[in-house]
Amino acid sequence: MAQPIIPVRTADGRLAPVPPRTTSRWVDVAIFAILGGFTYGLMRTATRWSAPLEPGTQIDLGAIHLPLYAAYSTLRMSIAYVISLVFSLAYAKIAVASRSAERVMIPLLDILQSIPILSFMPAVVLGMAALIPGRTVGLELAAILLIFTSQAWNMAFSFHQSLLTIPRELSEASTVYQLSPWRRFTRLELPFGAISLIANSMMSWAGGWFVLTASEQFPLKNLRLPGLGSYLQAAADAGDLSATLFGLAMLIGVIVLLDQFLWRPLVVWSDRFKFEQSGAADAPSSRVVELLQGSALIEWMNLHVWRPVWLWLDRTFGNAAARTRRFTLPATYRRGGRKAARWGLIGVGVALVLWGVVATIQELAGLPGGQWAHVWLSAGATLTRTVIALAIAAAWTIPAGVAIGFNPKWSYRAQPLVQVAASVPANTVFPILFVVLLSIPGGLNIASVLLMLLGTQWYVLFNVIAGAMSIPSDLREAAVVYQVTGWRRWRTLILPGIFPYLVTGMITATGGAWNASIVSEYVSYKGHKVMTLGLGALIADSADRGDFPLLLAGTLVMAAIVITGNRLVWRRLYTLAEARFRLD
């Protein structure tokens, strides 16, 4: 497939033809093979999803089955991520467009991210299984929905933060040029939030592996889905160390491949949207991007598929505002319609809240006062561990994240390692570390703090790296020219530059720490269960015993503490970031 010769202007002003960059034919063959394999995998998955649901599905611990299990899990993660991405973009856009809506939507997001998965997993799985009875697709949808709950919240938080901190001159320019909502979104909002969104997408994908293990294996009705998560859980339950290591090796292989073929190219692509007036001296690079740039197959798809689709979307939605102005109802009808819709939504919301309050009161009515005292005592213990874990996480992730974000070479080497460390499911590593950590002074009380770090610190690290990468190169060069070094450099350049990202990371890390307490305070290995005083242990134990009133009480207290902390601390810092630390 021939490519056009693109002329360029030489130093003396003449046009000279320069042949386009080409790659070896094996790159096109590899791309074609991947597309063919992906299509075959989708067809086989569709066939399996339509099959009858069989309780008690056995997970074969033979290593030969690992590639197929990894493919099943990666597909579930991919579907959940696409849904999470669409949800995050739409949710943040709606919240920013209306301050009245934002006052409801952001606290609701706090509530959703603070509810641990064990609290609503039985309802989701049983509900989906009843919605599509007798078919595997119901259980598959339940797993995807549970993975979605681990991916969506921090992506929505990050894009919301990006929309709030768009420089005023860029926002005013979009108004001057009368950009339609579609073009403002595609030309300004999405590019400006790309760096933060990609960093939090990597973190969301890493967090999804943790939930995958729980969502592929549901012990209440002995329901299982074949996948990498259920394989690791089955290996841990059997105490099969070799199978666990094989499973972790496969997981690490999938993470590295995704980093090289997906996330690293996206990081390179997002670097073009950095808000700066001079080009960066050292831009991130990717060997995969270099190979794909000269691919004839990619060029053909871009010319005949992606570009026509994009032009059609731009024509269809780019002029939507102009067409809307031609066919507008009188102002009286518009105001009346909006008012009726608003009161209708408020009425539905109030009805749902009242129904939930009544159901909750009925469920908690029989809970003795002694158990309530135990719930609050457990909450105090977990709160102490959470604060300690967050302090330790911030102490090392801020300097490390800035160092990685400022140095593209370090970023290229460290990003896959960070991805691997963040993506290994904590609930499969905890039993392995459990025996070692119990031998340290303080037992599980101290070990749970260290284990909690495994599920917390990555939220902060990924956001700090994104914040450091987003600092304009011209500001960094100005600091060098004016010899701004040491603490003064941190105080005047680095900390203000990463502050909005750091707040986003701390918000999501707080919710992650409370959720990680469930597996760090309650450890099961080879049939033995060890627990310490804490709200996470109380929720895990009550879920195992089917004590739903105590489970509900623990969940409500955990959500209340997370929401209160976000309202009193993190939201105020968000407001400070919006007011003072913008690239204006």
From first CA to last CA, the distance across the chain in angstroms is 47
**Res 385 pLDDT > 70:** yes
How does pLDDT run across 419-468, given as a tens digit for each residue?
777 767 666 666 566 666 666 666 677 778 887 887 788 889 888 988 88
What contacts 85, CB < 8 A, 6 or more positions away? 155, 201
**Res 168 pLDDT > 80:** yes
Which two three-digit tokens encode residue 344? 């209708």
The more confidently predicted of residues 25 and 264 is 264
Q: Which of 11-15, 23-27, 145-149 has the highest mean pLDDT?
A: 145-149
Instruction: Please report, for residues 24, 248, 252, 448, 462, the alpha-carbon distance to residue 421 in angstroms, rounded to integers and kept in the order given.
Output: 34, 11, 9, 18, 12
Tell me what pLDDT residue 268 has: 84
DSSP 135-162: BHHHHHHHHHHHHHHHHHHHHHHHHHHH
**Res 523 pLDDT > 60:** yes
How does pLDDT run across 333-370, given as a tens digit for each residue?
455 555 666 677 677 767 777 877 777 777 777 788 78
Tell me what pLDDT residue 6 has: 46
Q: What percent of the chain has pLDDT over 90?
A: 7
DSSP 81-114: HHHHHHHHHHHHHHHHH-HHHHHHHHHHHHHHHH
Residue 223 has phi, psi (to 5 degrees) of: -100, 130
**Res 86 pLDDT > 90:** yes
Rg, the chain, Cα only: 26
CATH code reported for the domain at 56-274+371-580: 1.10.3720.10
**Res 88 pLDDT > 90:** yes
How does pLDDT run across 251-307, given as a tens digit for each residue?
888 888 888 888 888 888 888 887 765 555 566 777 777 777 777 777 888 888 888
Tell me what pLDDT residue 89 has: 94
Confidence of residue 324 (pLDDT cuts 50, 70, 90): very low
How does pLDDT run across 57-79, given as a tens digit for each residue?
778 888 888 988 888 899 999 99
Tell me what pLDDT residue 337 has: 56
- Residue whose pair of structure tokens reads 């809506």 in the numeric block: 101
The DSSP letter of residue 62 is -
Query: Per-residue pLDDT averaged across 22-44, rounded?
Result: 73
- Give the span between the Cα atoms of 96 and 99, in whole angstroms: 7
Q: What mean pLDDT is reported for the chain?
A: 78
Tell me what pLDDT residue 524 has: 65
Residue 515 has phi, psi (to 5 degrees) of: -70, -35
**Res 326 pLDDT > 50:** no
The SS3 call for residue 16 is strand
Query: Per-residue pLDDT averaged across 315-335, rounded?
Result: 54
**Res 327 pLDDT > 50:** no
- Give the span between the Cα atoms of 234 and 250, in whole angstroms: 15
**Res 199 pLDDT > 90:** no
Tell me what pLDDT residue 429 has: 65
The more confidently predicted of residues 231 and 33 is 231
What contacts 174, CB < 8 A, 6 or more positions away? 184, 187, 188
Which two three-digit tokens encode residue 291? 């190979």
Tell me what pLDDT residue 79 has: 92
Query: Per-residue pLDDT averaged across 121-143, rounded?
Result: 77
**Res 2 pLDDT > 50:** no
Instruction: Please report, for residues 192, 463, 475, 580, the alpha-carbon distance to residue 164 in angstroms, rounded to integers and kept in the order given.
Output: 11, 16, 21, 12
Query: Per-residue pLDDT averaged across 165-182, rounded?
Result: 85
The SS3 call for residue 12 is coil
**Res 17 pLDDT > 70:** no
**Res 384 pLDDT > 80:** yes
Confidence of residue 91 (pLDDT cuts 50, 70, 90): very high
**Res 12 pLDDT > 60:** no
Query: Per-residue pLDDT averaged across 215-227, rounded?
Result: 74
